[in-house]
Amino acid sequence: MRLLTSTLTPTILLCLLITTLPRPSIGDDTLTSAQSLDDDDDGKTLISAGGSFALGFFSPTGTDNRYVGIWYNKISVCTAVWVANRLRPLTNRHGSLKLLANGTLEVTDENSTVLWSSTSSAAVRNPVAQLLDDGNLVVRSAADDESNASFAWQSFDYPTDSLLPGMKVGWNLTTGFNRQLSSWTSTIDPAPGDFTLGIDLEGDPQLLEWSSFSSEQGTKQPKWRGGPWNGLGFSGIPQMQSYNMFSLRFTADDQEVVYWFEMLDPTFVSRLVVNQSGALRRVVWVENDRLWNPIWESPVDWCDDEISPCGQNGVCDAESSLRCACVTGFRPANPTSWNLRDGTDGCARKTALDCKNGTDGFFLLRGVKLPDTSRSTVDWSTTVSAGQCRARCLGDCSCTAYAQANISGRGSGCITWTGNLTDLRLYGNGGQELYVRLAAADLRECSLA
Ligand SMILES: *[C@@H]1O[C@H](CO)[C@@H](O)[C@H](O)[C@H]1NC(C)=O
Ligand SMILES: *[C@@H]1O[C@H](CO)[C@@H](O)[C@H](O)[C@H]1NC(C)=O
Ligand SMILES: *[C@@H]1O[C@H](CO)[C@@H](O)[C@H](O)[C@H]1NC(C)=O
Ligand SMILES: *[C@@H]1O[C@H](CO)[C@@H](O)[C@H](O)[C@H]1NC(C)=O
Ligand SMILES: *[C@@H]1O[C@H](CO)[C@@H](O)[C@H](O)[C@H]1NC(C)=O
Ligand SMILES: *[C@@H]1O[C@H](CO)[C@@H](O)[C@H](O)[C@H]1NC(C)=O
Ligand SMILES: *[C@@H]1O[C@H](CO)[C@@H](O)[C@H](O)[C@H]1NC(C)=O
Ligand SMILES: *[C@@H]1O[C@H](CO)[C@@H](O)[C@H](O)[C@H]1NC(C)=O
């Protein structure tokens, strides 16, 4: 296991969020519709069967507001991973969590005002709410046992800022239901903040982080692009290819487009979290040091601070003092601003493509983050070879680049792009191969260079 050394301050702050450590609890993981979990009942909590997670009332440091949340029960520094009443906190300790007879969960105040409720689509007869040992709070029928039950509702479907093992981010395509992470507003306020992380379905689906910060009317702008799945990880997170403590999963079929992960060694505790300033981190708990150690975070460098800092057909290279370069066969679209280190106007083709004569070819870029795939088409068939993918691109006059969709094993599948290529970057380590279509004249030039 490779851990980065890190500055510890932010994680420790995060972990001190919960001032009021709940007392040891009744040791039960289930709430029936006859019971309620009351805040003034002296720190009563639900504890999952294996003791990994606890559910109860808590206050973040710096506020007396009360929230119902789920936190790690075995970790000495308390860390909330899920919050129910994010938008409407309680202002005193007279709140309660109840399970209604039809299976709806409610957080209410002393006057029975409902501050939060779960949105089960189907009523359950004789329901129970159970905190499972993976941190998922589920509502099911008491007649089922937890292994075979279909859940009427589960907290894993309504993520806060943390992705836990087994929890999915992405879409149920049948129902259009979408699961996204959203940051806290501030260290004292778990209300949804400016940053969300989810899967964008346009073109070849991509992991995207959006920001509502500095944009009008709360509209969300893409902030960071994790890129498309490449069989080993997301194209924009080359580190994923070398993770050996996780099993990383991605499914894109006609039922769902989702990413999730499992721990290969269950003694490791890890989560993916999007923080208040929009940083995305994968952290692992290190008990000896009592801290959450980041093993990866984004942004790491200038190339990830905004989307496409080098414009269309530009390539960002964080290790070069020039930062931006044009893809071979392209030149700066606006040389003046380009020379002033403003790459946003990007690069234009030197020689127009010559599709009809069939003289175009491809220039190979190695070690890159694939460009924005929202204007791309993907074919995941394992039978499509690199040669077939090339022929497919050549045969389509609007195709400007291609790459293998799946770089696992010997490589398979095919992504073809149309239009200009944006948000391309180089990686010193990892990254994948991209074939950029050029006119014959520009290909000659690069073989001379
Ligand atoms: C509950 O109702 C009482 C009486 O109207 C009121 O004084 C109190 O502030 C209410 N509590 C909350 C949390 O709104
Ligand atoms: C369950 O009961 C509550 C309170 O009467 C109601 O608001 C909610 O819609 C009901 N849920 C279902 C699934 O019927
Ligand atoms: C689950 O198993 C229990 C007993 O093992 C059974 O009574 C129940 O009907 C099963 N439920 C489903 C949905 O299969
Ligand atoms: C999508 O949601 C429906 C309704 O809740 C459910 O029956 C179905 O199993 C879900 N699909 C997947 C792939 O989870
Ligand atoms: C979010 O994480 C980044 C990277 O670790 C850190 O620099 C920043 O201070 C964090 N923001 C907050 C509000 O904790
Ligand atoms: C095809 O190639 C010839 C010779 O290079 C060139 O003169 C002609 O303009 C090309 N045709 C098209 C449609 O680009
Ligand atoms: C990618 O290729 C590997 C090796 O051939 C294969 O096991 C895997 O199922 C492929 N992934 C997808 C999503 O098709
Ligand atoms: C690509 O960029 C050029 C300017 O460099 C522009 O003229 C052209 O319309 C763009 N193509 C597409 C498909 O957006």
Chain-centroid distance of CA 348 in Å reads 33
- Residue ID of nearest Cα to ligand 7 atom 12: 231
- Distance from residue 172's CA to the centre of ligand 4 (Å): 6
Least confident of 73-77, 143-147, 253-257, 317-321: 143-147
Residue-range domains of the chain with CATH: 10-156 (2.90.10.10), 159-300 (2.90.10), 308-448 (no CATH)
The average confidence (pLDDT) of the chain is 90
Structure tokens at 192: 């949804």
Ligand 1: residues whose CB is within 6 Å? 109-111
Number of the ligand closest to the Cα of 354? 6
pLDDT per residue over 78-99, tens digit each?
899 999 999 999 999 999 999 9
Least confident of 14-28, 107-121, 165-179, 219-233: 14-28
CB-defined site of ligand 7, < 6 Å: 231, 380, 382, 406, 408-409, 412
Query: Considering Cα of 120, then 123, then 128, then 133, what sign does the dihedral take?
Result: negative
- Gap from CA of 391 to ligand 5 centroid (Å): 46
pLDDT mean over 283-304: 93
pLDDT for the residue 195: 96
Confirm whether pTM is higher than 0.75.
yes
> Which run of H or of E encompasses 253?
none
Q: How far is the CA of 232 from the centre of ligand 7 (A)?
A: 9
Q: Where residue 324 falls among pLDDT bands split at 50, 70, 90?
A: very high
For 268, the token pair is: 């490791």
Among the ranges given (98-112, 210-224, 261-275, 360-374), the one the predictor scored with the smallest mean pLDDT = 210-224
Tell me, using a 6 A CB cutoff, whether residue 102 lines ligand 2. Answer: yes
pLDDT category of residue 242 using cuts at 50, 70 and 90: confident
120 lines ligand 2 (CB under 6 A): yes
> In this model, does residue 18 exceed pLDDT 80?
no
Q: Where does the pLDDT of residue 34 fall: very low under 50, low under 70, confident under 90, or very high at 90 and above?
A: confident
pLDDT digits (tens, 9 = 90+) for 153-174: 999 999 999 999 999 999 999 9
Task: Tell me the CA–centroid distance for residue 276 and ligand 5, in Å.
Answer: 7
Spacing, Cα 275 to ligand 5 middle (Å): 6
- Minimum CA distance residue for ligand 2 atom 1: 102
330 CA to middle of ligand 6, Å?
Answer: 20
Rounded CA-CA distance 215/41 in Å is 44
Confidence of residue 133 (pLDDT cuts 50, 70, 90): very high
pLDDT over threshold 60, residue 11 = no
Predicted local confidence at residue 447, as pLDDT: 55
Asked if residue 157 has its Cβ within 6 Å of ligand 4, the reply is: no
Q: Which atom of ligand 7 is nearest to the CA of 380?
A: 14
Three-class SS state of 343: coil
Cβ(420) – ligand 8 distance below 6 Å: yes
pLDDT computed for residue 446 by the predictor = 60
Residues 6 or more apart in contact with residue 181 via CB below 8 angstroms = 159, 160, 161, 162, 163, 169, 196, 197, 198, 272, 273, 274
How much is the pLDDT for 14?
34
196-237 pLDDT, tens digit each: 999 999 999 999 999 986 556 667 899 999 999 999 999 999
Q: Residue 440 half-sphere exposure, CB side, CA atoms within 13 Å?
A: 7
Given pLDDT bands bounded at 50, 70 and 90, which one contains residue 2? Answer: very low
Tokens of residue 4, six digits:
């980065």
Instruction: Work out the percent of the chain whose per-residue pLDDT is above 90.
Output: 77
What number is the average pLDDT over the span 246-258? Answer: 95
Could you say which ligand is closest to the alpha carbon of residue 15? 5
Mean pLDDT to the nearest integer, 21-45: 77
Distance CA 228, CA 402 (A): 13
Taking the C-alpha atoms of residue 310 and residue 345, their distance in angstroms, rounded to an integer, is 7
Helices (H) and strands (E) in the chain, counts: 4, 34
Rounded distance, CA 77 to CA 292, Å? Answer: 9
- In this prediction, residue 85 carries a pLDDT of 98
Closest atom of ligand 6 relative to the 354 alpha carbon: 14
- Give the ligand with the smallest distance to the CA of 293: 5
Q: What is the pLDDT of residue 6?
A: 39
Which atom of ligand 1 lies nearest, measured to the CA of 90? 13
**Which tens digit of pLDDT belongs to each residue from 382-392?**
999 999 999 99
Q: Determine which residue's CA is closest to atom 14 belonging to ligand 5.
A: 10
pLDDT beyond 60 at 403: yes
Using the predicted structure, report yes or no on whether residue 12 has a pLDDT greater than 90: no
Expressed in angstroms and rounded, the spacing between residue 109 Cα and the centre of ligand 1 is 9
Q: Residue 24: its pLDDT value, please?
A: 40
Cis peptide before 299 (omega within 30 of 0): yes
- pLDDT of the residue at 76: 84
The rounded Å distance from CA 387 to ligand 6 centre is 25
pLDDT, position 244: 84
**pLDDT band per the 50, 70, 90 thresholds, residue 123:** confident
**Which ligand has the minimum distance to the alpha carbon of residue 282?**
5
Q: Is the CB of 104 under 6 A from ligand 2?
A: yes
- Radius of gyration of the chain from Cα atoms? 25
Whether the per-residue pLDDT at 10 is higher than 60: the answer is: no
Residues 434, 369: Cα–Cα separation, whole Å: 9
Is 245:268 a contact under the CB 8 Å cutoff? yes
Ligand 1 centroid to Cα of residue 106, in Å, is: 18
3-state SS, residue 141: strand
